[in-house]
Chain A
C-alpha cells in the first residue's frame, strides 16, 4: 500500500494543504504580532474571496487569473475597511475588546452571507485546463495542485522581500517587535496597521479562492475551520513570526495529510480533532513555537 507513488501523491497533497494554511497563517501572525489580536474574522476573508471568485467566474466570465487577482485586491480593501470601522475605534481599549469585535465581525460575515446568499453550498467550476492531470510515470498531478504550490511560493517570496527590503515592511517588523518603541522612533503606526490588514486579508482572500477551486464548493461557513487551523499553524511556528507561520503552515499540512494517509482508516474522521489536539500539545511543550521569540510568559 505504501508504494513510492502513494507517498509522492501524499507529499503533493501535504504541500498543497500546507501552502493554503501558510497563506492564511501569515495574515493571522502579522496582525497578532502588531496588535496582539487573535483575528477570528480572518477565515471569513477566505469565504468572501471564494464568493467573489464564484461571481467572477460564473457571472462575469472572467479569465482564471483575473478571478484570482480581483478578489485578492477587493478583499484587501475589505480588510482595511473592517480595520477602520471595527478595530480602530478600540485602539487603547483592553486587548480582549478587539478579540470580541473580531468574533462579532466573523458572525456578521457568516450570517450576512447566509441571509443574502443562503447557506446552500454553491459549486465553483474552474476552467478545465486547471483540472487536467499531468502524468509523471505512475504519478498523476492536477495542474491546479502544482499551480497552488507555485503560486503560494511566489506570494510568500514576494512578501518576504517586501518585509525585508521596503521601508514600510521594515516598519512593520519594528512594530511587531515593539509597538511603543516603533511609534517613538517616528513610525506611522496607523499606516503600518492598515498595510498589515490589507496584506493579511488579501492573502486570505487568495487562499479562499484557491481553497474553493480545489474543493469545488463555496458556502458561508467554509472559512471558519481553516481559519482556526491556520491559527494552530501560526502557534506551531511561533505566533508573531512570519517565517514561523510559513513553516507552521507546511508542518500542519504534512501532519494532517499524513495522519489521514497512515492512521487506521476508522480514525481518519478524527483529522480535525487531531489538529487541535496538536495545538494543545504544542502549547504544553513549546508555547513559544518553533521560531517564536519566547515572549509568552508563564504564569
Chain B
C-alpha cells in the first residue's frame, strides 16, 4: 500500500512538472528545475553525510565532472568546431544524446570517487572532508588549465538547453527512488550500522570499508547527474561555478533538513533554494551605504546552520522519514482526543 502511494505521488509530481512547462514563465520553470536539481544533490549527499556517517565535501567536484562531461559530449559537432576547435578528433566528432551523456558523467564521477575514496575511507576520522575539498580544488584547477577540452577560465557556453522541469523532476524522482531503495536494502542497513558503531558492525560481518566506499560512490554518481542537468539548465559553465559555496549550500540543505533523513534532505533542498530567491530582492534593495548587500543570503544560511547545530542538532526531521513523522503526529492527536491529560501509558 505504501508503494502505491509512492507511485501516485511520483505520477502527480511528473504531471505537475509537465504542466508547468505550458503554464509558467521561464523564470518559474527555472526555479522549479533548480529545486529538483538541489533535491538530487541533497539526497545523494545525505547518503554519505547522513546514512553512512562519513562527511564528504566533494559535491561541487562531482557536479563539475558531470557538467563538463555532459557539455563536451552533447555540444553539436558544428558548434564544437567553433567553440572547442582543439578537441581531440574523436571527441570533436562525437555528439551523444543527453541521457547517455548524463550516464557517462555519472560513471566517470563514480570512478574518480573510487580513486579518492580508496585511500581515505580506510582511515578513521574526518579525513574524507579535507580530501574531498582537495578534490574540488584539483577539479577546478584541471578545468582552468585543460584548455582544449574545458576552454579554461572562459568556460563553455551556448550549451543546448535540454533541462526542462520534466527532465529535472524525472531525474529527481529516479534519484530519490533509487536512494530510498538503497537505504532500505541490506546495503543501506550496513551503512547505518557502520555509522552507529563501526567496530560492532565489523564484528557482525559488515565489510566496513566497502560499505563506506559504496555510499560515497553512489552519492558521487548522482551528484554528477545533477551537475549535467544544471549545466544544460544554465547553458553556461565555468570552473568558478563549482566552488566551495556550492558544496556548502548542499551541506546546509542536508544539515538543516536533518542528516540521515531522505525526507529531510528534500525539505532542506526546497527551503534553501527558495530562501535565496526571496532574499535576492532584499540584497539589491536594502543597500548599506550605497552598496548592495551581496552575500546576505549566504550569511543568513550560515547563521541558520549555526543555530540548527546549537539548538536543534537533528535538523528539521532528525533521522526520521516523513511517514514516521506523520504517524507520530496522528498518534499524538488521537491520544489527545481520547484523554485531554495524556496518561503515562500513551
Interface residues of A (CB under 8 A from B): 36, 38, 40, 86, 89-90, 93, 95-97, 99-101, 103-105, 107-108, 110-112, 114-116, 118-119, 224-225, 228, 231-232, 235, 269-273, 275-277, 279-281, 283-284, 287, 296-299
- Do the beta carbons of B142 and A273 come within 8 Å of each other? yes
Q: Which residues of A contact B202 (CB under 8 A)?
A: 299
B132 smallest CB distance to A (angstroms) = 10
Q: Which 7 A-B pairs have the closest CB atoms?
A: A276-B134, A284-B119, A114-B295, A111-B298, A115-B295, A108-B302, A111-B295
Known A96-B126, A284-B119; contact A276-B138, beta-carbon cutoff 8 A:
yes
Query: In this complex, what residue of A is CB-closest to B298?
Result: A111
For the A-B complex with A40-B129, A105-B302, A228-B134 known, give 5 more contacts whose Cβ atoms are closer than 8 Å: A95-B126, A104-B252, A104-B306, A107-B301, A287-B127
Whether a CB of chain A sits under 8 angstroms from the CB of B55 is yes
B41 smallest CB distance to A (angstroms) = 16
Whether a CB of chain A sits under 8 angstroms from the CB of B336 is no
Whether a CB of chain A sits under 8 angstroms from the CB of B332 is no
Sample 9 A-B pairs with CB under 8 A, ordered by A number. A90-B310, A95-B125, A108-B299, A270-B145, A273-B138, A281-B119, A283-B119, A298-B122, A298-B123
B158 smallest CB distance to A (angstroms) = 25
Whether a CB of chain A sits under 8 angstroms from the CB of B131 is yes
- Do the beta carbons of B303 and A90 come within 8 Å of each other? no
Q: Which residues of A contact B303 (CB under 8 A)?
A: 104, 108
**In the complex the two chains form, what is the Cα distance from A269 to B299 in whole Å?**
32
Q: Which residues of B contact A36 (CB under 8 A)?
A: 125
**In the complex the two chains form, what is the Cα distance from A98 to B145 in whole Å?**
35
Interface residues of B (CB under 8 A from A): 53, 55, 57, 116, 118-127, 129-131, 133-135, 137-138, 141-142, 144-145, 198, 202, 208-209, 212, 244-245, 248, 251-252, 255, 288, 291, 293-296, 298-299, 301-303, 305-306, 309-310, 313
Q: Which residues of A contact B302 (CB under 8 A)?
A: 104-105, 107-108, 111
Known A38-B130, A105-B306, A231-B130; contact A269-B125, beta-carbon cutoff 8 A:
no
Q: Which residues of B contact A296 (CB under 8 A)?
A: 123-125, 127
Q: Which residues of B contact A90 (CB under 8 A)?
A: 309-310, 313
B129 smallest CB distance to A (angstroms) = 6
Q: Which residues of B contact A118 (CB under 8 A)?
A: 291, 294
Known A279-B131, A283-B119, A299-B208; contact A272-B299, beta-carbon cutoff 8 A:
no
- Do the beta carbons of B134 and A99 come within 8 Å of each other? no
**In the complex the two chains form, what is the Cα distance from A270 to B144 in whole Å?**
9
Query: In this complex, what residue of B is CB-closest to A295?
Result: B124
- Do the beta carbons of A108 and B306 come within 8 Å of each other? yes
- Do the beta carbons of B251 and A103 come within 8 Å of each other? yes
- Do the beta carbons of B119 and A101 come within 8 Å of each other? no
**In the complex the two chains form, what is the Cα distance from A114 to B299 in whole Å?**
10
Q: Which residues of B contact A114 (CB under 8 A)?
A: 294-295, 298
Q: Which residues of A contact B198 (CB under 8 A)?
A: 299
From DSSP, what is the main secondary structure of chain A's interface residues? helix
- Do the beta carbons of A287 and B123 come within 8 Å of each other? yes
- Do the beta carbons of A112 and B295 come within 8 Å of each other? yes
**In the complex the two chains form, what is the Cα distance from A279 to B129 in whole Å?**
12
- Do the beta carbons of A104 and B309 come within 8 Å of each other? yes
- Do the beta carbons of B130 and A228 come within 8 Å of each other? yes
A223 smallest CB distance to B (angstroms) = 12
Q: Which residues of A contact B248 (CB under 8 A)?
A: 103, 107
**In the complex the two chains form, what is the Cα distance from A271 to B145 in whole Å?**
11
Q: Which residues of A contact B138 (CB under 8 A)?
A: 272-273, 276-277
**In the complex the two chains form, what is the Cα distance from A115 to B298 in whole Å?**
9
A19 smallest CB distance to B (angstroms) = 22
**In the complex the two chains form, what is the Cα distance from A276 to B137 in whole Å?**
8
B277 smallest CB distance to A (angstroms) = 17
Q: Which residues of A contact B305 (CB under 8 A)?
A: 100-101, 103-104, 107
Q: Which residues of B contact A275 (CB under 8 A)?
A: 134
User: Quick one: which of A38, A115, A119, A224 contacts B126, CB cutoff 8 A?
Assistant: A38
**In the complex the two chains form, what is the Cα distance from A105 to B126 in whole Å?**
18
A238 smallest CB distance to B (angstroms) = 13
Q: Which residues of B contact A119 (CB under 8 A)?
A: 294-295
Query: In this complex, what residue of A is CB-closest to B210?
Result: A299
User: Quick one: which of A112, A224, A269, A283 contacts B244, CB cutoff 8 A?
Assistant: A224
Known A86-B306, A272-B137; contact A100-B251, beta-carbon cutoff 8 A:
yes
Q: Which residues of A contact B137 (CB under 8 A)?
A: 225, 228, 272-273, 276
B74 smallest CB distance to A (angstroms) = 26
User: Quick one: which of B57, B118, B296, B313 contacts A93, CB cutoff 8 A?
Assistant: B313
Q: Which residues of B contact A86 (CB under 8 A)?
A: 306, 310
- Do the beta carbons of A115 and B123 come within 8 Å of each other? no
Counting chain A CB atoms within 10 Å of each CB, the highest count among B121, B138, B209 belongs to B138
**In the complex the two chains form, what is the Cα distance from A277 to B301 in whole Å?**
31
- Do the beta carbons of A99 and B129 come within 8 Å of each other? yes
**In the complex the two chains form, what is the Cα distance from A299 to B141 in whole Å?**
31
**In the complex the two chains form, what is the Cα distance from A112 to B55 in whole Å?**
25
- Do the beta carbons of A283 and B310 come within 8 Å of each other? no
- Do the beta carbons of B299 and A270 come within 8 Å of each other? no
- Do the beta carbons of B55 and A99 come within 8 Å of each other? yes
**In the complex the two chains form, what is the Cα distance from A299 to B209 in whole Å?**
6
B141 smallest CB distance to A (angstroms) = 4
**In the complex the two chains form, what is the Cα distance from A270 to B118 in whole Å?**
23
**In the complex the two chains form, what is the Cα distance from A89 to B312 in whole Å?**
12
